[in-house]
Chain A
């Protein structure tokens, strides 16, 4: 199957990307370094380690998605490897989907490894783990799938630097989307309010995937919420991939 061939090759290529290992090294340093902040919060050290190590998984996962993802299609065009691929009897959407799935598989693996390392570290430090910790890891991974889809879309349309800036800005703003709705009263009825409300609905709300606080404190999260957050992410991801495929359909390479 052509999509899987492209995905396998993308995975193989991304695994060889040195950026991946540099970021993984920093992620490991952040996970193990979280104990240092644990020391200054008396009696809360395991909670801090859990919270910070999950935050490290999220941030470094996002950085990998951005650095590798925004290069994904652009590099194929720049290095002209795309010529011998798109002249094959395949649809362009198959190429986009294959590139996405390859990086998504890598990110799933990387997230799983980072969460596992964090879990082992928590246990080594004498802490206990529950399902919420791993569900928090699952939602971080799910969030990365959405960010990767945005990175792939921008990779098909623009340069990696501009793409990285847009994806990172979206990630930051997506964690604070309430700023678009919680406006002072004098904005009522203005066009600015309507525009900001539209932005609120366009930008994905990444805080939906954030259950780190619950994981750190061992508070259970309803399975219904997890499923809802996953469905929310899946819809956004699908829409972004459809837009990427449409944008790439008639692009000159």
Chain B
């Protein structure tokens, strides 16, 4: 049984006066296995949030079906399995984090004792104790995101659906979210998240799906999708004399200069090894030798260009 499955999910927003209907999602069929960390990628307006909102039953699909843990997402009971973190989560400004978690715990059907135990656990995990008595009104983006994550975890759901969890966070905030995702992956949860921060996606996802104009153009494991061959090699050489630098520049596909030295780019490892040997032979110092493989970002851009 898949943790998340959609079948031909289509969403058409009815047009208002003077505007036609907009197809936001076009026959989306995807499957996410239990305990997978699935990255859902796409440009702004590609339909990611629409798909996520259908999974969380906030939008009704025009056609198709969505299942979480094998159950139709339109059934309220199915949503016991889902923890949802919306993009820029909003909470009641007049509640404190403790009251907020208590409220959502009650909506989740937890007893008073279960809610108290949940608070103890989540307050430690998400570092909420220091702000337990403060109203949400004055919270920073990072504090809201921590609280949002805690709210998503209320009721210990098996599937976490996170919409742009890293958007707008500082590097420390992003690292915290990354670590939380990996922690819950270790604890056996399934994590489905959309993101624009492709570096982070590459670090933590086992599989990705790419949505282009509402259509899923790619779905698969990162190591299968990305071309892991070396595309080019960057060599940084310091202490080179001008004559040697001119000769080496003629043999490379591109050069630039920085405080570290001269950067030479060559296409393959063979040429890179020869060039590195010549740097040393001509009295230079090899400061860096970096084989460059295709990144998710490059793949993503290539995918967008291919489709458009």
Report A's interface with B, CB cutoff 8 A. Answer: 1-2, 5-6, 9, 12-13, 16, 79-91, 250, 252-253
Contacts and interface: CB of A to CB of B under 8 A. Distances in A.
B84 A81 contact: no
B58 A91 contact: no
A1 B58 CA distance: 21
A122 B137 CA distance: 43
Given A5-B106, A90-B107, A13 B79 contact: no
B59 A83 contact: no
A1 B105 CA distance: 10
B116 to A, nearest CB: 15
B16 to A, nearest CB: 13
A100 to B, nearest CB: 17
Contact of B107 (A2, A79, A250): A2
Interface residues of B, number: 29
Interface in B153-203: none
A12 B94 CA distance: 9
Contacts of A87: 56-58, 79, 82, 84
Contacts of B76: 89-91
Nearest to A77: B58
Contact of B90 (A79, A89, A252): A79
10 contacts: A9-B103, A13-B92, A83-B86, A86-B58, A87-B58, A88-B104, A88-B107, A89-B107, A90-B79, A252-B59
Interface of B: 53, 56-60, 76-80, 82, 84, 86, 88-92, 94-95, 103-104, 106-109, 148, 151
Nearest to B86: A83
B60 A80 contact: no
Contacts of B58: 82-83, 86-87, 252-253
Contact of A2 (B60, B90, B109): B109
Contact of B108 (A6, A80, A83, A88): A88
Contact of A83 (B82, B84, B95, B103): B84
A16 B89 CA distance: 22
Contacts of B92: 9, 13, 81
